[in-house]
Amino acid sequence: MAAEQLDEIDAYRTMWRIRLFEEAVEDLYGRGMMHGTMHLSIGQEAVPTGACAALKEGDQITSTHRGHGHCIAKGADLGRSMAELLARDNGYCRGRGGSMHIADVATGNLGANGIVAGGPPIAAGAALSNQLRGTDQVCLCFHGDGAVGEGAWHEALTLASMWQLPVVFICENNKYGMSMSSEKAFKVEHLSEKAAAYGIPGLTVDGNDVEAVFESVNTAVERARAGGGPTFIEALTYRWRGHSKSDKNLYRTREEIAQWRAHDPIAAYAAVLLERDTATQEELNAVADEVRTEIRDAVRFGTQGDEPTVEAMLAGVYAPSPVDARELGARA
């Protein structure tokens, strides 16, 4: 069921899942147990958590290169996610995809994406399919501020608007696309102003406030489900870590990072929950401890997975066709 109200403890738990999953990933990477590149969303947990809480079963998401949080908030299994990052056969993509390509199509996670703005047209296409198939599914498209610079983003919004498709674009404006400051890049005060160009609603919310994200996405999703077309939501947030491992953080100041770290979305929400008497400090601590155990289990699940094989990889390039042309050839 779509949540009319956010389940507060669930949301708190999800944010911890994302945070601790990524801390574990960072640690494994630092110890040389994980390879490749990775993009951490530590500090941004409230956006996917609040946004995905507004979805119901069957709804879809498209994600980005910084996608661990989106996947976890959409309900991805921590073990299979960790196994994928550890390049094991029991990972979501059988070790072929890694951090930038986690997908769980059966549950509506149409996939992370290594290509900036690779997702928006796909999300619009899924929404078109929802419309054509007459379902009430909604697709939520996560993308960064940097994606707004790509032609693909504009094309997706143009088409989604023309056909009033059930898609919600949620822009995680974490102030930078790699080193390019979004303030420098885009001469509007709020990226949400761009929505006007497509004739769709646009709004800017505090992306470190999980409830504000939930409320705005929930309204947009309901609107989309009812045939009201797309919405563009800009969620203001900040990534604490560098863009990826190659980042020397030369384009921003230590003070700026410290300022945003002081607005930790998880700590802020804990304070709200205590203030409201929703939970005691002990109960909140217990949530984090439970998640810590989940993450430990996930790492164990991943490290115990088998190495993938070349044979299976080669057999996995094409989906099996109903008739193999080589068989036809053999008959001729």
Partner 1 sequence: MSDLRTMTYAEAVREAMATAMTNDDRVFLMGEDVGVYGGAFGVTNDLYERFGTDRVRDTTISELGIVGMGVGAALTGMRPIVEIQFSDFLCQAMDQVVNQAAKLHFMVGGQADVPLVIRTPGGSGTGAAAQHSQSLEAWFAHIPGLKVVMPSNATDAGSLLLAALEDPNPVLVLEHKLLYKQSFEVPAEFPRAHLGEGRIEREGTDLTIVATSIEVQRSVQAAEQLAQSGISAEVIDPRTIKPLDLPLILDSVSRTGRVLLVQESAKFGGFMAEVSASIAESPAFGDLQAPIKRLCGLDTPIPYSPKLERASVPQVEDIVAAASALVGEW
Interface contacts to ligand TPP, rule CB under 6 A: 39, 65-66, 114-116, 144-147, 172, 174, 176-178, 243
- What single string gives the DSSP state of each residue in 30-96? HTTSS-S-----TT-THHHHHHHTT--TT-EEE--SS-HHHHHHTT--HHHHHHHHTT-TTSTTTTS
- Using CB positions, name the residue nearest to ligand TPP: 144
Which tokens go with 178?
């790699």
Task: By CB under 8 A, tell whether 141 contacts partner 1.
Answer: no
Task: By CB under 8 A, tell whether 147 contacts partner 1.
Answer: yes
End-to-end, the C-alpha distance of the chain in Å comes to 55
* Structure letter (DSSP) for residue 106: G
The interface mask with partner 1, positions 186-225, x = CB under 8 A, is ----------------------------------------
Task: By CB under 8 A, tell whether 314 contacts partner 1.
Answer: yes
Pairing of strands 139-144, 60-62: parallel
Selection from Mg ion, partner 1, ligand TPP, none that 66 binds (CB < 5 to 8 A by kind) is ligand TPP
List binders of partner 1 among 161-180 (CB under 8 A). Answer: 177-180
Task: By CB under 8 A, tell whether 319 contacts partner 1.
Answer: no
Task: By CB under 5 A, tell whether 234 contacts Mg ion.
Answer: no
H or E stretch at 217 = helix 210-225
Task: By CB under 8 A, tell whether 30 contacts partner 1.
Answer: no
Classify 265 as helix, strand or coil: helix
Q: How far is the CB of 185 from partner 1 (least distance, A)?
A: 5
Q: How many CA atoms lie within 13 A of 323 on its CB side?
A: 6
If the CB atoms of residues 188 and 271 are measured against Mg ion, the closer one turns out to be 188
CA separation for the pair 60, 201 (Å, rounded):
20
If the CB atoms of residues 134 and 329 are measured against partner 1, the closer one turns out to be 329
* Structure letter (DSSP) for residue 109: B
The interface mask with Mg ion, positions 137-176, x = CB under 5 A, is -------xxx---------------------------x--
- Which residue ranges make up the site for Mg ion (CB under 5 A)? 144-146, 174, 177
